[in-house]
Amino acid sequence: MKDIALANLLNDLGDSIKQTEHGQPLFRGLNYTPIKLDEDNFYKIPGGDTDRKLSFIDGGNMELFSSPMFSVHLIRVYYNVFKGRERIEPGELPQRIDFYALAIASEVNGEIKYQGKIYPVNSNHKKYLPDEEDLELKLSEVVSEPDEQLSMSRIGRICTAARRFAEWKVAGEISKQELSAGDIMVMDGSLQTSVKNETRYAENAYKKALENDVVYSGLSKTTTLHTTTGNSLVKTLKDLASEIEYPWYYYPVVKNVDPNHQAEIYFVKLYRESQYAFRYELQRDWKKNASKMEIESVLTALSNNSRDVRFPGYPYGLVDADRMASVSKEEASRYRARFKAMTSGTGLWSELRTYLSAVDAHDVLNKLR
């Protein structure tokens, strides 16, 4: 019976996929004007070497403890520097920064507010971390759905915002201290900002990049963008490029004037044999003054870093940054044990435990399986 149900599901799924037309790009919001797809907008990414260095940055965070009233995260920001596939040792800027973030909920004049606090593991790294006043957010500035506001289930987003702000701040310092004119800063993900105060951190990073003639960009490993028929925009572009036998980029796909998304959006296939195409964004002000040759030189540098056999077509610098920035469950478990050991003799653990029990019943059930 299970096989019959699954067979029916797969038949319906297959029919649905076959019947879907390509459609046209679909972007939500008045600041985005989609541009009709045109096969003439595919261009070859030139081969050859380039003198441009690339720096890739990523951040990771793991929730250590949470309740409706507070959330504690361990956060890590990491970057690297490459020239082609050759790793370059950074200079004075610390390559890895670890810090704790604490989010606390409180009631002020009948409204729930959150306060984020930052605790660098190395006190010398505090200057690279966000200002705590930028982590003072109302509940409505953290979540939008009424049921989420009712349950206050998103307090951990304050800590995630702290990580994102730190990524922007460190990226600006990389552009200033570790890169030279013509080099490329690559963030993991889109250049779009989404949390209050984030745009200020992004603009400061852009400013430092432009002052040092550094190319600021972001590459998204996944994208949910689709077309007017509900099809995947990435799949549609790959279908249109099915006969192209070289690395390519597609531009333009949309006119974007969003002040919170200061980017020109490209789609790129960085390695000929790759099955993947990615969304790649160049900071708008840099792109405005760049020639086609300069842009293609940037894409050549990115392509040269995207030939690792484990994930061909995806920049190895981002693979490395993702691995080094991630906080594993085992590591988080060790930090929880340390936290418990430091509070057990003070009576604080017993009090905290009453808050934690409001949300950890699911974890108990998982252990019983």
| pLDDT at site 315 | 97
Domain boundaries, given as residue ranges, for the chain: 44-325, 332-367
Residues 82-97: tens digit of each pLDDT: 998 899 999 999 999 9
| pLDDT at site 66 | 84
**Domain 44-325, CATH:** 3.30.2170
| pLDDT at site 367 | 56
- Nearest Cα neighbor of 71 from 174, 151, 150, 157 is 157
- Residue 150 reports pLDDT greater than 60: no
Residues 151-178: tens digit of each pLDDT: 445 788 899 999 999 999 999 999 999 9
- Residue 354 reports pLDDT greater than 80: no
Residues 97-134: tens digit of each pLDDT: 999 999 999 888 888 899 999 999 999 999 999 999 99
Alpha carbons 280 and 283: distance in angstroms, whole number: 10
Q: Which of 40-44, 148-152, 163-167, 249-253 has the lowest mean pLDDT?
A: 148-152
Whole-model pTM: value is 0.90
pLDDT bin (cut points 50, 70, 90) of residue 205 is very high
Residues 287-304: tens digit of each pLDDT: 999 999 999 999 999 999
- Residue 307 reports pLDDT greater than 60: yes
* Sign of the C-alpha dihedral computed for residues 11, 14, 18 and 23 taken in this order: positive
- Residue 191 reports pLDDT greater than 90: yes
- Residue 25 reports pLDDT greater than 60: yes
Q: Which of 153-162, 235-244, 260-269, 322-331 has the lowest mean pLDDT?
A: 153-162
